[in-house]
Amino acid sequence: MSMVDEPLYPIAVLIDELKNDDIQLRLNSIRKLSTIARALGEERTRKELIPFLSENNDDDDEVLLAMAEELGVFIPYVGGLEYAHVLLPPLETLCTVEETCVRDKAVESLCRIGSQMRETDLVDWFIPLVKRLAAGEWFTARVSACGLFHIAYPSASEMLKAELRTIYSHLCQDDMPMVRRSASTNLGKFAATVEPAHLKTEIMQIFEDLTQDDQDSVRLLAVEGCAALGKLLEPQDCIAHILPVIVIFSQDKSWRVRYMVANQLYELCEAVGPEPTKTDLVPAYVRLLRDNEAEVRIAAAGKVTKFSRILSPELAVQHILPCVKELSSDSSQHVRSALASVIMGMAPVLGKDSTIDQLLPIFLSLLKDEFPDVRLNIISKLDQVNQVIGIDLLSQSLLPAIVELAEDRHWRVRLAIIEYIPLLASQLGVGFFDDKLGALCMQWLQDKVYSIREAAANNLKRLAEEFGPDWAMQHIVPQVLEMVNNPHYLYRMTILSAISLLAPVMGSEITCSKLLPVVVTLAKDRVANIRFNVAKVLQSFIPIVDQSVMEKTVRPCLVELAEDPDVDVRYFSKQALEAIDQVMMST
């Protein structure tokens, strides 16, 4: 075997596998296209590999997708920027396939290549490609064309620019809704490259046509265009051209369009600036908050805080707050839930007095909501309101809400409230917690659902971290250790896991004096599962307890377990013993 052959072999295999029957092998070869290209050299890559790939356009979509992606970073392998244009033909074919994700990737790669190409090359190669695609027989080519204009346009001559603008406006009036949707989606990007003079005239005309399209799906995408175009225009033009469109959209007969406005409203406000927001968009927003369609109200309710932030507190109190009150008793639970997830954030915006006067009653009513998600959403954001008015005003209503959630029949709800207990504890303080919530935390350890017991054990650890070992020694450890005699082994198991979680927080002394004896007792449990978990817990104690205790208590216990009749118990105790030996050796 000659030395030259060796590196060629794997390459030869890769090349052959480009045409293998097995799709996985073809994919693999395409992924290593750069390796093949390096072996062939730049010239042969240009003259053989790329044309070869151009013909490979009826492969499976997965292969085409991979090819579209690889070609996007292929410039170095064809000889640098000078030859970048040779990559365009295969990508052009990929821009016309039926599968959307392949086309999108091909467009992305073309944009990536185009943005690096020299200006003259763009004029010679890229712009003709865009024009060809835009005039494509099938809609697939025209859809792809829309995403390439912003790369082609800047380097075109004046005449070509005018032509490109005309072509784009034709695409916006295409018979196929898919093409109009693509044109609508890409309008913002294209507009950003167009000169201000044309922006105001031609692009705005295109935009206006799109906003009046028959197809809801096209108008929907035009809403997004509002924000993008608004940022490009001078403020006065934005107010003159974009603002009216937004206001009309906010009253569109299709709820989906109004939903988009509600979702995009913050960006739209940024686009038009603070003054028009106050005069024109506040009424529009208020309408959306009172929309007939629940979906629209959900979207609008979710933006209450963000929107209030850009208004003055007076305006927010005057216009937004009345709507918020209505929404807090909305007929749709999802609306109330969306509101509950953001409304706490309004407290800092409105300030202390308004929060107490206006928001507090709403918080309280949402805390009593029949739908658990609403209550949970309020509780999850408690810290935001605590900063403004303190927790005392809320605590009276909070407790019943928490207790009810803690006992909810859906375990996911119980799980969610457990997650928030450390947050509540930190906000409410030790005193409140001791009185009211301590018992709940213990109760969860005996829940019927494993996930709840697991979360409860974890919760104890987080509480110990929050309030410190001394507090935990008083309020958690005794209660936990009491439960170790539960007749059901699954509950004993929970206690065992709680002990192993608490040990690192409590420190060596308490672990040795309080926790370890209990664990050692459990080593005599009649259930094997408990015994091998004892072995695991003892292993986890290694870094915590000191050597003397280790030798005196832990090791004998493990040695005994290593003789257990149960195979798993023996296995885990031997592992633990090995771990001890290792630590001993290293010290």
Binding residue (CB under 8 A) for another protein from 35, 39, 112, 560: 39
Q: Smaller CB distance to another protein: residue 184 or 355?
A: 184
In the bound state with another protein, the residue whose beta carbon lies nearer, of 39 and 520, is: 39
Q: Write out the H or E segment, with its range, that includes residue 187.
A: helix 177-191
- Nearest approach in angstroms of CB 104 to another protein is 11
Residue 370 interacting with another protein (CB under 8 A): no
Nearer to another protein, 47 or 131 (CB): 47
236 binds another protein (CB under 8 A): no
Nearer to another protein, 58 or 370 (CB): 58
Residue 502 backbone phi and psi in degrees, to 5: -75, -35
Q: Which stretch binds another protein (CB under 8 A): 10-18, 74-82, 318-326, 519-527?
A: 10-18
CA distance 418 to 287: 38
Contact stretch for another protein (CB under 8 A) within 9-17, 125-133, 193-201, 506-514: 9-17
8 lies in the site for another protein, by CB under 8 A: yes
Return the residue of 22, 158, 370, 563 that touches another protein, per CB under 8 A. Answer: 22
What angle, rounded to 10 degrees, do the helices at 100-114 and 139-146 form? 40
Binding part of the chain for another protein, among 19-27, 231-239, 267-275, 552-560 by CB under 8 A, reads: 19-27
Residue ranges in 316-381 assigned as alpha helix (H)? 321-327, 333-343, 346-354, 360-367, 372-380
**Helix (H/G/I), strand (E/B), else coil: 62:** helix
Binding flags for another protein, 43-62, as an x/- string (CB under 8 A): -----xx--x--xx-x----
- The Cα-based distances of 546 to 64, 313, 538 in angstroms read 62, 60, 13
Tokens of 313: 């507190």
The percent helix, strand, coil of the chain (3-state, each to 5) is: 80, 0, 20
For 154-157, which contacts have Cβ atoms below 8 Å and span 24 or more sequence positions?
154/193, 155/119, 155/122, 155/123, 155/127, 156/122, 156/123, 156/127, 157/123
Site residues for another protein, 237-296, by CB under 8 A, read 253-256, 292-295
Measured CA to CA, the distance from residue 344 to residue 384 in angstroms comes to: 6
Binding mask 199-228 for another protein (x = CB under 8 A): ---------------xxxx-----------
With respect to another protein, which residue has the nearer C-beta, 21 or 158? Answer: 21
Give the shortest CB-123-to-another protein separation in angstroms.
29
Nearer to another protein, 255 or 471 (CB): 255
3-state secondary structure of 189: helix
Q: Smallest distance from the beta carbon of 102 to another protein, in angstroms? A: 12
State the residue for tokens 């296209």.
33
The answer to whether 384 and 343 are in contact (CB under 8 A) is: no
Residue 334 in contact with another protein, rule: CB under 8 A: no
Residues from 402 through 421 that contact another protein (CB under 8 A): none
Q: Is 35 in the site for another protein (CB under 8 A)?
A: no
Among residues 70, 78, 91, 140, the one that binds another protein under rule CB under 8 A: 140
Residue 585: what are its φ and ψ, rounded to 5°?
A: -60, -40
Closest to another protein by CB, 254 vs 458, is: 254
Q: In the complex with another protein, which residue's Cβ is closer, 22 or 563?
A: 22
**Nearer Cβ to another protein (143/519):** 143
The pair of structure tokens assigned to 548 is 């003397």
The residues, ordered by sequence, that sit 6+ positions from 241 with a Cβ below 8 Å of its Cβ are: 200, 204, 233
Report which of 548, 203, 465 is spatially closest to residue 580, judged by C-alpha positions: 548
Least distance in Å: CB of 179 to another protein? 10
Query: Binders of another protein among 143-182, rule CB under 8 A?
Result: 176-178, 181
**Shortest Å, Cβ 285 to another protein:** 20
Residue closer to another protein, measured from CB, 96 or 328: 96
Q: How far is the CB of 290 from another protein (least distance, A)?
A: 15
Q: How many CA atoms does the CB half-sphere of 423 hold within 13 Å?
A: 16
DSSP 414-471: HHHHHHHHHHHHHHH-HHHIIIIIHHHHHHHTT-SSHHHHHHHHHHHHHHHHHH-HHH
Report the alpha-carbon distance of residue 575 to residue 512 in Å, rounded.
Answer: 21
Contact between residue 283 and residue 245 where contact means Cβ atoms under 8 Å apart: no
Figure out which of the listed residues 30, 96, 174, 263 binds another protein, where binding follows CB under 8 A: 96
Piece of the chain touching another protein by CB under 8 A; list 11-19, 343-351, 383-391, 524-532: 11-19
132 in contact with another protein (CB under 8 A): no
Nearer to another protein, 52 or 571 (CB): 52
Q: Closest distance between another protein and the C-beta of residue 255, in Å?
A: 6
Integer Cα distance of 247 and 225 in angstroms: 14
Minimum distance from residue 78 beta carbon to another protein (Å) = 15
CA distance 358 to 441: 33
Half-sphere exposure of 394 (CA within 13 A, CB side): 32
Applying CB under 8 A, what is the total number of residues that bind another protein? 52
Whose Cβ is closer to another protein: residue 83's or residue 255's?
A: 255
Give the rounded distance of the alpha carbon of 243 from its chain centre: 31
User: Considering the complex, what minimum distance in angstroms separates the CB of residue 26 from another protein?
Assistant: 10
With binding defined as CB under 8 A, does residue 17 bind another protein?
yes
Comparison of 221 and 498: residue with beta carbon closer to another protein: 221
Residue ranges in contact with another protein by CB under 8 A: 1-2, 4-6, 8-13, 15-22, 24-25, 39-40, 48-49, 52, 55-56, 58, 96-98, 100, 138-140, 176-178, 181, 214-217, 253-256, 292-295
